[in-house]
């Protein structure tokens, strides 16, 4: 149940725009029939966790939103703890946190947060929900859609594919890195300068895993 609630939250299900069953099936790697059964179960929960209409999608109720945010906070704090204190590489923390997020107490959650100094983001740049349930939002654009010649910073990266995370790490494309899409190779590849280094070719598929924010700082000269 928690996995579904978290997925609905991450796909935008607290807004008036409902999340479709196909999107949930893809995110969770399950069959459409399994999604339907679980959404019906969540809708019948006391109190109801979702508002669900067949063929019209689903969105979270207030109770469902509160539970989803709680699990998301657990998950992202655990990722940060595993990465910063136990030296897990960033391509392994997601799966480990998935297993642990359901079982930690609120007391342990607060101790982890205090030990970490109440971090704002997980290792992949995703915002950690605050204690009151608020989640910081910001405008992010996939690298694959960023305009040439406009300086940006990496805001976050997708944590869904460990192989992509390892490649992004190799390139130095981590949250905070400065990015400039250079004119040149387009189509299946982009020419990208990372932290003012010489441009490298990046496959568009990989570029869809990195999300950029505007960078108001002046661009230093390349070495």
Sheet hosting strand 152-157, strand order edge to edge: 141-142, 210-214, 152-157, 178-182, 189-194, 200-203
Structure tokens given for 50: 């979702």
Tell me how far apart the alpha carbons of residues 57 and 42 are, in angstroms, rounded to a whole number. Answer: 13
Q: What is the pTM of this model?
A: 0.88
Q: Mind listing the pLDDT tens digit for each residue in 109-135?
A: 999 999 999 999 999 999 999 999 899
Q: Mind listing the pLDDT tens digit for each residue in 182-219?
A: 986 667 889 999 999 999 999 999 999 999 999 876 55
Classify 2-60 by CATH class.
Answer: mainly alpha
What residue spans in the chain does CATH classification 2.30.30.90 cover?
Answer: 141-214
- Answer yes or no: CATH 3.40.50.300 is held by domain 141-214: no
Q: Mind listing the pLDDT tens digit for each residue in 37-96?
A: 999 999 999 999 999 988 888 999 999 999 999 999 999 999 999 999 999 999 999 999
What residue spans in the chain does CATH classification 1.10.10.10 cover?
Answer: 2-60
């Amino acid at each position: 149940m928690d996995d579904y609630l978290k997925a609905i939250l991450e796909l935008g299900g607290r807004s008036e725009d409902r999340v479709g069953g196909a999107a949930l099936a893809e995110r969770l790697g399950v069959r459409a029939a399994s999604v339907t059964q679980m959404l019906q179960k969540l809708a019948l929960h006391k109190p109801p966790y979702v508002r669900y209409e067949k063929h019209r999608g689903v969105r979270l109720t207030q109770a469902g939103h509160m539970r989803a945010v709680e699990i998301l906070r657990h998950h992202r704090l655990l990722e940060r703890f595993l990465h910063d204190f136990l030296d897990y590489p960033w391509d392994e923390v997601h799966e480990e946190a998935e297993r642990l997020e359901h079982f930690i107490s609120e007391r342990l959650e607060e101790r982890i947060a205090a030990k970490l100094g109440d971090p704002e983001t997980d290792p992949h740049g995703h915002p950690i929900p605050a204690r009151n349930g608020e989640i910081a939002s910001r405008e992010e654009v996939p690298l694959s859609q960023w305009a040439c010649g406009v300086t940006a910073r990496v805001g976050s990266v997708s944590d869904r594919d460990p192989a992509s995370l390892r490649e992004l790490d190799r390139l130095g494309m981590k949250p905070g890195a400065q990015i400039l899409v250079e004119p040149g190779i387009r189509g299946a590849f982009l020419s990208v300068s990372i932290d003012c280094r010489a441009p490298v070719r990046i496959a568009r598929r990989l570029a869809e895993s990195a999300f950029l924010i505007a960078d108001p700082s002046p661009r230093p000269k390349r070495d």
